[in-house]
Structure 1
Amino acid sequence: MNYLSAKEVATQWGITRRRVQVLCEEGRIQGAFKISAVWVIPKEANKPEDKRKIKKTSNE
């Protein structure tokens, strides 16, 4: 299995490196693990859904 750094994944997904690190810390990226101070993420990992987005109801 090939792995990428948080910086490489951030570039692929169009988000910041820090956001990728937070997703890893929260356990939202399957297969990600930490070696010393570096997050290692499987190349095949999928970007998790952004739970920060607010869904509008049909009443709005």
Structure 2
Amino acid sequence: MDYMNAKEAADKWGLSVRRVQVLCEQGRVDGVERLGNVWLIPKSSDKPLDGRTREAKK
């Protein structure tokens, strides 16, 4: 499987690196793994929904 790090995911999703790290810590990114202090995020993962929107609350 192909992985990207938090910086690459942040650029892809239009978020900050810290926000991506928090989403990974909360388990909101599917298939994420931690290797030491680096988050490995599958390149096929989609951006998690924003919990403040109506779509996420459904």
- What is the aligned-residue RMSD (CA, Å)? 1.0
Distance 1:54 1:4, change over 3 A: closer
How many equivalent pairs are there? Answer: 54
> Greater share of helix residues, 1 or 2?
2
Structure 1 ranges of 4+ moved more than 3 A: none
Distance 1:54 1:28, change over 3 A: closer
Match of residue 28 from structure 1: 28
Between the aligned residues of both structures, percent identity stands at 50
Distance 1:42 1:54, change over 3 A: closer
Larger Rg: 1
Matches within 5 A, 1:1-60: 1-51=1-51, 53=52, 55=54
Q: 1:23 deviation in Å?
A: 0.3
Secondary structure in 2 matching 1:49: coil
For residues 43 and 14 of structure 1, what CA distance do their matches in structure 2 show?
15
Unaligned runs of 5+ in 1: 56-60
Unaligned runs of 5+ in 2: none
